[in-house]
Structure 1
Amino acid sequence: MDSDLVRAFLAVDRSTAWTLVERVPLNFPTYHPQGFALVGELIFMSSVEVLEDTGIGHLFAMDRQGNLKEDIRLGEGTAYHPGGLDFDGKDLWVPVAEYRPDSRAIVYTVDPTSYDVTERFRVADHVGGVVRDRTTGHVHGISWGSRTLYSWTPTGEQLSKVPNESHFLDYQDCSYVAHGKQLCGGVTTLPGPNNTSYDLGGLALRDLHTNHILHEIPFPYFSPTTNHNATRNPVALELTPTTLRLHTAPDDGNPPTGTELQIYETPLK
């Protein structure tokens, strides 16, 4: 099925039309969402709650109707910023970092059934997202703005540290798909005319073994409530029998709109 997902993504391009087919209000405080992992009928979403002097890292388990099932707290001290997460078929892998570049992070696993949390290793940098390669068992991560690409053993031995060859997107959330590949979503904020700015969003398929980009597309769709680009924060792709489906949550939990799960689809080719 994951191989089918890769083939479906390789078939889309910048002219592909996507339709916003569903908007699901999330019925709980969501703060600043970061990453998604789809686990059966549950969606896990990481989020950072920023307080006056510190913050709280959250991993929310919710059903697909937007109802909260569990609020799992992650992090310690000044490390309270969860990033993009991944499900390896057994555990969720989640980094929690200090809310600044060139800082530090803790990588956790979370059991998606019991919600038990286990610290796996620590990194002397801000880690904004992790993915577990199911072909090697290695853990791959991205720094602040995804300018640096890392890989580690599951116990934290650093295997590689290389610059990101792409300057098109700052990845926000990545997920393992198949055969040593990951799918990432993100945005780049560009200057516009008359002191305006524009968030260019997109999706990229990357080879975890070579760090090369295999396919990437812009995603020129925006939240109907805030005009944030759809790939600004959490993203997760999956297949239906007839469509390629993209789950997004571009908006923070601020009133009056709050966060919606916004779902886009395009027909399979």
Structure 2
Amino acid sequence: MAPPATKNSPTTPLLDALFTLDRRSRLELIGEVRLDFPTHHPQGMAFATGLTFLSSVEILDAPLPAADPTLRSPGRGRGHVFVLDSKGGLLRDVHVGEDSMYHPGGMDFDGEHVWLSVAEYRAGGPSIVYTIDPYSLEVRERFRVDDHIGWILRDPELDLVYGGSWGSRRIYTWDTEGRVVANWENPGHFVDYQDAQLLSPGLLLCSGISVLPQADGTPFELGGLALVEPQRQKILRDVPISIFSAAGHVITRNPVTVTADENGLQIHAAPDDGDDPGGTRILTHRIS
């Protein structure tokens, strides 16, 4: 399948590379940056103005589990957006959220602002949508949603905002004032999307994980990438990812950003928590 035509899109090399990606593609680790500060449980990642923005949830009181995830207790915690230099040094810890809404999610840079959602740590809980100015680091509330929004981004050419619910079981489109333009049930059950980025107008790259039981009862983390076209409510392509960090997490577990250069496609990911062996590292894999 060829990538959809995009008018004057600067991301054509990235799109071309993504449409050649399949489960036979090889991933080679070409770099890692260790984050030498408490990172807690990273959630989303975006590159902007030469900086890396990494969202993370710090859990103070864990939510009480329930068979129905909407009935979990909200728990208590803090939402963070870590602003990093090119070597992973912490420049600023921006606190985000309000009361029981402390769980930041996947994020993206629209060329002007970093867009971020912060939700209760349970399915169906409310969320706040924020933008962060990458220069001043001013945080601005944009709108609120009566659902758990696990990732969000803005499409500047169409002036629309896209986001996914808990596990991305429902995908939303809003205008920039928060009015719902569309919402639809995700037909894909391959992985639950945890982070997303805009590739070109109306085309998203979503990344995520499914935790599957094995025959011996131990869990297996299956990762994946998906090309999603919200305007047509379609998944154009999805590809499994089964590359793991030193701590044993699939690399698409949470924060992911994909770039392309003259040497090919690169996946930048931070799958490990601060208390995992070795702590959090931003891993870069080249795909061939």
TM-score, normalization by structure 2: 0.90
Q: Which residue of structure 2 aligns with residue 233 of structure 1?
A: 254
Gapped regions of structure 2 (runs ≥ 5):
1-9, 62-74
Matched, 1:131 2:140: no
For residue 194 of structure 1, give the secondary structure of its aligned residue in structure 2: coil
Matches within 5 A, 1:1-269: 1-52=10-61, 54-224=76-246, 226-254=247-275, 256-267=277-288
Q: Which amino acid aligns with 2:251?
A: A
For residue 34 of structure 1, give the secondary structure of its aligned residue in structure 2: strand
**Cα pair 2:158 2:201 within 8 Å, conserved:** no
Spell out, residue by residue over 1:100-127, the C-alpha distance to the aligned partner (whole angstroms, 9 max, x if none). Answer: 0011000001000100011000000000
Instruction: Measure how far apart 1:206 and its partner are.
Output: 0.9
For residue 114 of structure 1, give the secondary structure of its aligned residue in structure 2: coil
User: What is the alpha-carbon distance in structure 2 between the residues aligned to residue 260 and residue 150 of structure 1?
Assistant: 31
**Cα pair 1:103 1:124 within 8 Å, conserved:** yes
Q: Which amino acid aligns with 1:190?
A: L
Spell out, residue by residue over 1:65-88, the C-alpha distance to the aligned partner (whole angstroms, 9 max, x if none). Answer: 111111111000000000001111
How many positions carry a matched residue from both structures? 266
Instruction: Measure how far apart 1:26 and its partner are.
Output: 0.6
% identical equivalent positions: 44
User: What is the alpha-carbon distance in structure 1 between the residues aligned to residue 284 and residue 250 of structure 2?
Assistant: 13
User: What is the alpha-carbon distance in structure 1 between the residues aligned to residue 12 and residue 90 of structure 2?
Assistant: 31
Instruction: Measure how far apart 1:160 and its partner are.
Output: 1.2
Instruction: Measure how far apart 1:240 and its partner are.
Output: 1.9
Instruction: Measure how far apart 1:49 and its partner are.
Output: 0.5
User: What is the alpha-carbon distance in structure 2 between the residues aligned to residue 205 and residue 243 of structure 1?
Assistant: 18
TM-score, normalization by structure 1: 0.96
Q: Which amino acid aligns with 1:10?
A: F
Instruction: Measure how far apart 1:51 and its partner are.
Output: 0.7
Q: Which amino acid aligns with 1:94?
A: L
Instruction: Measure how far apart 1:40 and its partner are.
Output: 3.7
Instruction: Measure how far apart 1:255 and its partner are.
Output: 5.4
Instruction: Measure how far apart 1:210 and its partner are.
Output: 1.1
Gapped regions of structure 1 (runs ≥ 5):
none
Give 4+ residue runs of structure 1 displaced > 2 Å after superposition. none
Q: Which amino acid aligns with 1:65?
A: K
User: What is the alpha-carbon root mean square deviation over aligned residues?
Assistant: 1.1
Instruction: Measure how far apart 1:134 and its partner are.
Output: 2.4
Spell out, residue by residue over 1:6-25, the C-alpha distance to the aligned partner (whole angstroms, 9 max, x if none). Answer: 11110111100110111210
Instruction: Measure how far apart 1:41 and its partner are.
Output: 2.1
Instruction: Measure how far apart 1:181 and its partner are.
Output: 0.6
